Amino acid sequence: MQERDWRPESLTAQGLGWVDASTQAINPPIHMSSTFLRTPDYGTERAYIRDQNPAFEQAEALLAKLEGGAAAALLASGMAAATSVFMALKPGDHVVAPQLMYWSLRNWLLTYATEWGIEVTLVDMRDLAALRQAMRPGKTQLVWIETPGNPLWSVTDIAAAARIAHAAGARLAVDSTVATPVFTQPLKLGADIVMHSATKYLNGHSDLCAGALVTKEKDAAWERIIQVRYQLGAIPGSVDAWLLLRGMRSLFPRVRQQAATALTLAQRLAQHPAISDVLYPGLPGFPGHEIAKAQMQGGFGGMLSVRVKAGTEAAKATAARVGLWQRATSLGGTESLIEHRASIEGPGSPVPGDLLRLSVGLEDAGDLYDDLDQALKGGNALG
């Protein structure tokens, strides 16, 4: 690819268009080596795999480009990416995070992070006054938001959250896993750091586990996060990094199609007599729809949830009856997934029992609707 300001779609389709200098291969080689030769005077471009794996460079450069950041880092998982940001803080530091967010990270914040001396305040991030009130200038180092946020897909105003964080001397980090860089670039809205579970849409094929961070500035806070990754060895393998770049090449058409199907399903399910509520930022009646419209470009993502009118048992029975949707956790793959979220999260989960979380894949929208419809009605048309 000739150097030029190509659009993100073009850059992504070609994985930045890098060509292997030694073979002219248009896909990168995988160097299965944990260590790298030094010159006689001990000079080296790369020293050791835990620090500098060449297999990461192309995916990291592409992610930095897509998010408009100064640098990006691949990590072993979304959780490794998120926890590295918090572990780069110091005991006594205060952070503000959402009440409703990715369940495992919420658990980690309330257990390990708290036990290690990080003070955690959880607030409803849809309520900016509550966020403002939770800030402790001089003590709050980080505000963490997730938008759209699991599993109600609540929308947080990134630009407003950034202003509130910065006014108190804190940084803003955004879990943008569900929005993807296709629809939202948080750094351009004022965020300091973006996190992705690359296990989800970035890879898009439900066949690896990885995470990513992108920073606006290569500042001291970023260097500390990179040290955490290096010292803990929170890195994916070379083959997974290669697969991630391969998956990312189709990111734009995949997530645009998934978002279009999700919108169609949300609109149709909102009319379904067995459903009391459809939670999707793309629906005009959804609280946060106006903010989503302003900060998401070209789509509202592929995730939605429905609440089953007849309650918890009926929701579970619906998930038990699907024939095309796959009953599994996770999201962002080519196959559509359905999940009774309260069962997965267990006791203490704030998720309503009548809620089913849907990750929309690449199947035909009519087939997906028909399968849900028969499952809601109690038949089994496909099985």
Active site residues: 50, 102, 175, 200
In the complex with ligand PLP, which residue's Cβ is closer, 55 or 85? 85
Under the criterion CB under 6 A, does residue 86 sit at the interface with ligand PLP?
no
Distance CA(284)–CA(304), nearest Å, equals: 14
- Helix, strand, coil percentages (3-state) for the chain, rounded to 5, are 40, 15, 45
Under the criterion CB under 6 A, does residue 336 sit at the interface with ligand PLP?
no
By CB under 6 A, name the one of 12, 147, 150, 261 that touches ligand PLP: 150
DSSP string, 78-127: HHHHHHHHHHTS-TT-EEEEESSS-HHHHHHIIIIIHHTT-EEEEE-TT-
In the complex with ligand PLP, which residue's Cβ is closer, 11 or 292? 292
In the complex with ligand PLP, which residue's Cβ is closer, 181 or 274? 181
Whether 345 and 352 have beta carbons less than 8 Å apart is answered as no
CA-CA-CA-CA torsion sign (157, 159, 161, 164): negative
In the complex, the smallest distance separating the C-beta of residue 357 from ligand PLP, rounded to whole angstroms, is 10
Under the criterion CB under 6 A, does residue 121 sit at the interface with ligand PLP?
no
The token pair at 21 is 């200098």
Under the criterion CB under 6 A, does residue 146 sit at the interface with ligand PLP?
yes
Considering only the stretches 20-28, 192-200, 249-257, 267-275, report the one whose residues sit in contact with ligand PLP under the rule CB under 6 A.
192-200
The token pair at 65 is 């480009």
In the complex, the smallest distance separating the C-beta of residue 10 from ligand PLP, rounded to whole angstroms, is 27
Residues 205-224 that bind ligand PLP (CB under 6 A): 209, 211
Under the criterion CB under 6 A, does residue 75 sit at the interface with ligand PLP?
no
Residue number of the CB closest to ligand PLP reads 78
Edge-first strand order for the sheet with 171-175 is 71-75, 211-215, 193-197, 171-175, 140-146, 94-98, 119-123
Per-residue binding letters, 88-107, with ligand PLP (x by CB under 6 A): --------------x--x--
Per-residue binding letters, 169-188, with ligand PLP (x by CB under 6 A): ------x-xx----------
In the complex, the smallest distance separating the C-beta of residue 200 from ligand PLP, rounded to whole angstroms, is 5
Under the criterion CB under 6 A, does residue 12 sit at the interface with ligand PLP?
no
Beta strands in 300-346 (DSSP E): 303-308, 326-327, 337-340
- Binding residues with ligand PLP: total (CB under 6 A): 16
Straight-line distance from the first to the last Cα atom of the chain, in angstroms, rounded to the nearest whole number: 48
Under the criterion CB under 6 A, does residue 200 sit at the interface with ligand PLP?
yes
In the complex with ligand PLP, which residue's Cβ is closer, 85 or 266? 85
Instruction: Put residue 267 in one of left, alpha, beta given phi > 0 → left and psi -120 to 50 → alpha.
Output: alpha
Q: DSSP code of 37?
A: P
Distance CA(224)–CA(53), nearest Å, equals: 18
Name 338's bridge partners.
327, 358
In the complex, the smallest distance separating the C-beta of residue 364 from ligand PLP, rounded to whole angstroms, is 25
- Residues near ligand PLP, by CB under 6 A: 77-79, 102, 105, 146, 150, 175, 177-178, 197, 199-200, 209, 211, 331
